[in-house]
Structure 1
Amino acid sequence: MKYNRPRIKPIYPLYRLDKTYFRIGAQLGITVEFGDPEGQLYSLASKLNGQKVSDIVVEMQKKFPELTVDDIISGIDLLDENNVLEETLPDETDEERYLPNISYFSRFVGMNGNRFEVQRKIHESTILLLGLGGGGSNILTLLAGLGPKKIIIVDYDRVEMGNLGRQFLFREADVGKLKTEVAKKAINEMNSDVEIEVHNQKIQSPEDILQYTDGVDLVICAIDEPPFIIHRVVNKAIVAADLPCVFGASQVSRGRVYTVIPYVTGCFDCLNLNFSKHDPKFLDQFVGFREVNFNPPSIAYGPGMFQLVSSIVDEAIRVLTRYAKPQSLGTQFEINYEDGSSFTHHTWPRFEDECPTCGNGSAEDWQIFQYYQNKGIKYD
């Protein structure tokens, strides 16, 4: 038989509405209702508690002699098609701290999958985190709870009093200390399963990143200064290393997440080409922004930052494990802190023949790239 020890996913309640209908689940959007006037399917569902299918067949035929084995398997198929079943997997386990994660992943894994495998992929992953500011410091705490094998952190800054309203990894006693040192100590105390490697360095070139990419499975870019320019530097590095990267940035009351998978999605330079091709005001806006030398105060509201960083980390886990479809591949996933809504922008393609970074093009052919020059930043 194709089933071994199926069970109704423990994350869902099973209950009758009346003599004709029953439901699995109790939340709008994740609840399935079944018509069952003879009570056969509800009885079957009630018996799907991890026992062997052969035992279930015996019990069902004892109660409903008219049912064939194929009838009973068809009933299990119906429940499986509605994504409410999982294999019990009695020999699989994990540390207690990760079991709630696994229960969440079970929502997305059916009878043909293994909910423990998602967490196992996380345990086997090494993540390179760039930046420990309002985004990076909170990203780090979420990653620590998920339990990757190793997190490599690159940052050069020290904790300031102005950080404490949104960078909740740090405490008042940490003011003046290097963020990397504080972060390593805090995460070691939070989750000793995770290996933490820190580097006190300001990123100014792709080489500054490439020296840390050996053995890395995914990069998270949580640095956004100098604006746009630093993302181009990171993009150059992750394409050279052939590593997926989740980028995040916050502007006033909006946050954006986008993901680059080299040679699969368009890269950051492809995004610039896409805007150059399709937005007649893009170059003027970019040049105008650069020339005004805009230097705003720190703009960061803790609850808003949490909306952004949770999306960044979830996207990273989606890319690493594919427990669910990533939301920001080749597109910008935007979060509105004001009303909690989100949407995706139009996707941009990979320009293999024209992109100077992930393709065969030349930066000299595109006017936009001359405005990315910045003192102290080496791109090529």
Structure 2
Amino acid sequence: MHFDRPVIKKTLPIYRLDNSVFRIGAQLGTTSEFTDPKCEMWDLVQSLDGSEWQTIVKRMKDMHPRLSEEDIEKGLLDLDKLGYIDEMFEDTATAPRYMANATYFSCFPGASTESAAQMQNKLRQSRILLLGLGGGGSNILTLLSGLGIAGVTIVDYDNVEENNLGRQLLYRESDIGRPKVEAAAEALHAMNSEMEIKAINRKIESSEDVSTLIPGNDLVICAVDEPPFLAQRRVNKAIVEANVPCVFGATQMTHGRVFTIVPRKTGCFDCLHLYYTKNDSRFVKQFRGFQSSGFKSPTIAFAPTIWLITSVMVDEAVRLITNYEKPRSLGLQLEIDYPNYTSFPHPAWPRYDECPTCGNGSYDDWEAFKYYGEGV
């Protein structure tokens, strides 16, 4: 018996349907119905009020003399198998503004109020490097303000323009003409004055530009998408060298993609080039054609869909930090279909020893890398 003061999770409603049937839960997939004409399980559930276990046992025996302690313990373990049991824990450390985060974490199987508080505390101790403050990054920063992380380093080189305001909802009309990092830092401070903010006005033009920013941060979120693919390769090389995980995301037309790289554990972005080269005979030809086309996409952005992908990116970051659930995009591309509100994973790609970035290979051995034009 591993519970000292068991309670039903506070997120679960308990309610009767009639004199012999009751339910715990009200959400699809988490609700159980109990047929209990003698009210033994109902009384057990009602007795789980945070009292010590022996007090609960005595209470149950007084109401149901035929039950042994083993019978009562079996009922408790049946409830625990369903994920309904928590240990009484008074959370006095989590600030009120973050309490709802911890309550959400406690909803998941195996989580308790105490472990959820510990997850929120991990966020309170974490620092994130956010690259890019455009359509993705500006909205990511807004979401980060509600997590209670210790600090964020924000990096961009653009000024706020009028055409940003339809999707970059962190900024105001009065910010037009201001550096994005300046306007973003001011807005974030107004939303959450507890977070430390380091604002850097810089254009990312090499992996070295990223490498100098990583120390002191636990995780990177990459919302830089230009030049296409090259920007991700620069960030990828820097995080591999620093051994710091990164969540990447980018919008295409009516779809978006999110992928997460944990150096030495998943394949890196250059491993993905190797994966396609090995598994798709048309990849190199298609990539060469795209890179040589000179195509520059117009801005394709619709605020509601930007929020879809940025929400996924931030949640993936939280999963990495807290482990409340396994990240869905770990070592694979998670495709988000905006019009249909659906998502699906592409095949995961492995880490290759012959990768020139995270392994021991040479860039000259892989044709795809020859079509980048600019250095990483």
TM-score range, shorter chain: over 0.9
Structure 1 ranges of 4+ moved more than 6 A: none
| Other-structure match for 2:356 | 356
Deviations 1:170-201 (A, max 9, x none): 00000010010011111111011110101100
Gaps of 5+ in 2: none
State how far apart, in whole Å, the 2-side matches of 1:92 and 1:178 are. Answer: 40
1:91: Cα distance to partner? Answer: 5.0
1:288: Cα distance to partner? Answer: 1.3
State how far apart, in whole Å, the 2-side matches of 1:372 and 1:49 are. Answer: 63
1:28: Cα distance to partner? Answer: 1.4
The answer to whether the aligner puts 1:38 opposite 2:38 as a matched pair is yes
State how far apart, in whole Å, the 1-side matches of 2:349 and 2:186 are. Answer: 40
**2:79 aligns to what SS in structure 1?**
helix
| Other-structure match for 2:59 | 59
**1:145 aligns to what SS in structure 2?**
coil
Please give the residue correspondences for 1:340-351 in structure 2 after superposition, counting only pairs within 5 Å: 340-351=341-352
| Other-structure match for 1:170 | 171
Q: Is the 8 A contact 2:291 2:372 kept in 1?
A: no
**1:306 aligns to what SS in structure 2?**
helix
The answer to whether the aligner puts 1:89 opposite 2:89 as a matched pair is yes
Gaps of 5+ in 1: none
**1:146 aligns to what SS in structure 2?**
coil
**2:145 aligns to what SS in structure 1?**
helix
113 and 32 in structure 1: CA distance in 2 versus 1, 3 angstrom threshold: farther
| Other-structure match for 1:368 | 368
Q: Compute the RMSD of aligned alpha carbons.
A: 1.4
State how far apart, in whole Å, the 1-side matches of 2:93 and 2:11 are. Answer: 17
Q: Is the 8 A contact 1:84 1:110 kept in 2?
A: no
**2:304 aligns to what SS in structure 1?**
helix
The two structures have a TM-score, normalised by structure 2, of: 0.97
State how far apart, in whole Å, the 2-side matches of 1:230 and 1:357 are. Answer: 15
132 and 32 in structure 1: CA distance in 2 versus 1, 3 angstrom threshold: same
**2:107 aligns to what SS in structure 1?**
helix
| Other-structure match for 1:293 | 294
Please give the residue correspondences for 1:1-380 in structure 2 after superposition, counting only pairs within 5 Å: 1-90=1-90, 92-108=92-108, 109-111=110-112, 114-352=115-353, 354-374=354-374, 378-379=375-376
State how far apart, in whole Å, the 1-side matches of 2:50 and 2:103 are. Answer: 16
1:42: Cα distance to partner? Answer: 1.8
1:112: Cα distance to partner? Answer: 9.4
**1:225 aligns to what SS in structure 2?**
coil
**2:99 aligns to what SS in structure 1?**
helix
State how far apart, in whole Å, the 1-side matches of 2:130 and 2:91 are. Answer: 34
1:113: Cα distance to partner? Answer: 5.9
Q: Is the 8 A contact 1:85 1:110 kept in 2?
A: no
1:35: Cα distance to partner? Answer: 3.5
State how far apart, in whole Å, the 1-side matches of 2:149 and 2:304 are. Answer: 25
1:253: Cα distance to partner? Answer: 0.9
Deviations 1:24-63 (A, max 9, x none): 1112122223343432112111222222222211111110
State how far apart, in whole Å, the 2-side matches of 1:131 and 1:5 are. Answer: 48
**1:128 aligns to what SS in structure 2?**
strand
How many residue pairs were aligned? 375
Q: Is the 8 A contact 1:355 1:361 kept in 2?
A: yes
State how far apart, in whole Å, the 2-side matches of 1:209 and 1:39 are. Answer: 63
Q: Is the 8 A contact 1:80 1:111 kept in 2?
A: no
Deviations 1:64-102 (A, max 9, x none): 112222221221111111112212212543111001111
State how far apart, in whole Å, the 1-side matches of 2:190 and 2:113 are. Answer: 37
1:5: Cα distance to partner? Answer: 2.0
Q: Is the 8 A contact 1:92 1:116 kept in 2?
A: no
Q: Is the 8 A contact 1:128 1:153 kept in 2?
A: yes
State how far apart, in whole Å, the 2-side matches of 1:91 and 1:9 are. Answer: 14
1:297: Cα distance to partner? Answer: 1.6
State how far apart, in whole Å, the 1-side matches of 2:182 and 2:91 are. Answer: 40
Identity percentage over the alignment? 50
1:169: Cα distance to partner? Answer: 0.3
1:152: Cα distance to partner? Answer: 0.7
